[in-house]
Amino acid sequence: MENSRPSSKRFLDIVADLRTIIKEEGAVIGDKLPSERVLADRLQVGRSTIREALRSLELLGLIETRRGEGTFLADYKKHQLVEILSTFIMQNPQSLKSVDDTRRIHEKAAIECISNDPERRTLPVWGSFLVKLRGTEPIIREELLQEIVVVSGNRLSLKIWFLLKQYSRVPYHETMAEDEKEVATNLLKEMMNGNSHLAVMRYKDWLDIVIGERRGEHEC
Amino acid sequence: MENSRPSSKRFLDIVADLRTIIKEEGAVIGDKLPSERVLADRLQVGRSTIREALRSLELLGLIETRRGEGTFLADYKKHQLVEILSTFIMQNPQSLKSVDDTRRIHEKAAIECISNDPERRTLPVWGSFLVKLRGTEPIIREELLQEIVVVSGNRLSLKIWFLLKQYSRVPYHETMAEDEKEVATNLLKEMMNGNSHLAVMRYKDWLDIVIGERRGEHEC
DNA sequence: ATTCTTAAGTGGTCAGACCACTATCCTTTA
DNA sequence: TAAAGGATAGTGGTCTGACCACTTAAGAAT
């Protein structure tokens, strides 16, 4: 079975075999996998080969290992995909602008998504935000944007957004000023009305307030 | 240096150390890395630990190993971790949709960016594409989109797009049909005219052709 | 019944030994 | 001289066995 065409890279076969085992045993997220020694015996390979395969899957975020306990199926919805590449491929974070621009791309897309979806744009959470914006309580900037990106429903986009937020120079953790609240209110209203175009314009107004400069530049 | 806070997973530290070595030596794609035995000696760890790290990076497609020759920096743009994640992570159709949606977010943003930038939208490369689209030569789908994302100038967005393209189920490597060429032509024209709104609409027309279904859904 | 000790099981790491393969140098040969 | 061939060193691929650090749970002592 696993002997079909043994490639020159045994550990790659093991990766495939592990997939088979997981599937056959119907393992669910959080379940414990057989120990390295058991796997080595069952697949008739050395333990080091098993480990090379497991470590690869671990770096991918597919499994999780705990010393003294065992190996477990990880929640691959939180794949470290982006993190790995952010530390390896994207070794040139010299362009903070790229980070900010990309973050805005996702924010803008989320706003449009919600505006165009009758269900999402009528969620009660937006009404709650409107009330809070009218009040005097301090509101952190990222609260609103995070809710927007979350509600848009694209988990990968959300993941990327969270990552970029960390690298961003935009002061997302600060509270909103009064005029800022007004712009945010307009943004929400346009979004709830399903007018994605105007909602995006209000979003850009808000950016102007937060950042100050940059208007008229190409907005990439 | 590499002894700063050794985590419980040594091989993860090694992964980081390898990144440092690659960076310091200014290694470029195709360059040869030090041998496993040399690395083990230099980083003061066992060879198996080095191998676990290297195998992880190999599965990610970041390096390439050839028995008898050595380990080389791979071209991450082409390698196939597609297969791995499509069999592990991407079993969940929800994840697949996230990938496709996110990829479209970046494509759409790039189109808007270029449309709104007088310099970028008048680049001679678009004229070349128009000519090619009029001709009978086969054109690969991703050629045009890749050029668009490249020209948009956001390197981070480009890297994310490259990554997502690998995971995507959309047949980007196929050639364009005749009616497809017409839509692409319209997309380019609107973009060159600076009409981002219409350009995006043509882009969505193109998506309809490529994928077939999905129209009227909320487009996130 | 509680606490403590112990043993078994697990992942983490290392060292050494082969094997298979590749490239290179160097001898042999035509 | 030039080509063919073979020995050799270096590389990744794999296995074995041995520790270590840690967790868990069974069992002993209180």
CB–CB contact A101 B55 (8 Å): no
Nucleotides of D under 7 A from a protein CB: 10-18, 21-24
**Last residue within a domain, chosen from B51, B80, B109:** B80
CB contact residues (below 8 A), chain B span 157-176, against chain A: 157, 159-160, 163
Q: Which of A9-13, A23-27, B14-18, B185-189 shows the lowest mean pLDDT across its residues?
A: A9-13
Question: What pTM, to 2 d.p., does this model score?
Answer: 0.65
- Shared domain for A22 and A128, answered yes or no, is no
Q: Which two tokens stand for residue B25?
A: 């030596």
Boundary-marking domain end, from B30, B51, B80: B80
Q: Does B154 touch chain A (CB under 8 A)?
A: yes
Under DSSP, the state recorded for A40 is: H
Residue A213 falls in which region: left (phi positive, over 0), alpha (psi -120 to 50) or beta: beta
Instruction: Answer yes or no: is B204 within a domain.
Output: yes
Q: Rounded CA gap, B164 and B172, in Å?
A: 11
| Res B187: pLDDT | 93
Which residue is the nearest neighbor of D11, CA to C1'?
A: B68
Is B91 within the bounds of a domain? no
Helix (H, G, I), strand (E, B) or coil at B13: helix
Q: Is residue B207 part of a domain?
A: yes
Shared-domain flag, residues B19 and B113: no
Could you report the per-residue pLDDT of B30-63, keeping only the tens digit for each?
Answer: 889 999 999 999 999 999 999 999 998 888 778 8
Rounded to an integer, what distance in angstroms lies between the CA atom of residue A33 and that of residue A26? 11
Range of the domain at B208: 96-219
Residues 18-57 of B with CB under 8 A from A: 19, 23, 48, 51-53, 55-57
Among B159, B141, B139, residue whose Cα is nearest residue B149: B159
A8 to chain B, minimum CA–CA distance in Å? 9
Task: Give yes or no: residues B25 and B75 share one domain.
Answer: yes
Helices and strands: H and E segment counts in chain A: 11, 3
Span CA (B52) to C1' (D8), Å: 29
Whether residue B100 sits in one domain with residue B74? no
Are A129 and A176 in a shared domain?
Answer: yes
With distances taken from each CA to the C1' atom of nucleotide D15, the closest residue turns out to be A46
Look at B98 and A155 and tell me if their CB atoms are within 8 Å: yes
Cα separation, A182 vs A133, in Å, equals 8
Pairing of strands B32-33, A70-73: unpaired
Separation of CA B18 and C1' C23 in angstroms?
A: 26
Task: Indicate whether B17 and B104 sit together in one domain.
Answer: no
- Is A117's Cβ below 8 Å from some Cβ in B? yes
What confidence score (pLDDT) does residue B91 get? Answer: 53
Residue B146 has pLDDT above 60, yes or no: yes
Q: Does the residue A144 lie in any domain?
A: yes
Same-domain check for residues A144 and A215: yes
**Shortest Cα distance, chain A CAs vs residue B135, angstroms:** 31
Q: Give me the tens of pLDDT residue by residue for chain A, a chain 220 residues long.
A: 333 334 556 777 888 888 788 877 777 888 899 999 999 999 999 999 999 999 988 887 788 899 999 999 887 555 555 555 555 544 554 456 777 888 899 999 999 999 999 999 999 999 998 998 888 888 888 889 999 999 999 887 887 787 777 666 677 778 888 888 889 999 999 999 999 999 999 999 888 887 764 444 545 5
Whether residue A209 sits in one domain with residue A145: yes
Query: Average model confidence (pLDDT) for chain B?
Result: 81
Structure tokens that stand for A88 in this block: 């390896």
**B104 shares its domain with B177:** yes
- Asked whether residue B2 is domain-assigned, the answer is no
Query: Which of B108, B113, B159 minimises the CB distance to A219?
Result: B113
Q: What token pair was written down for A96? A: 């903070």
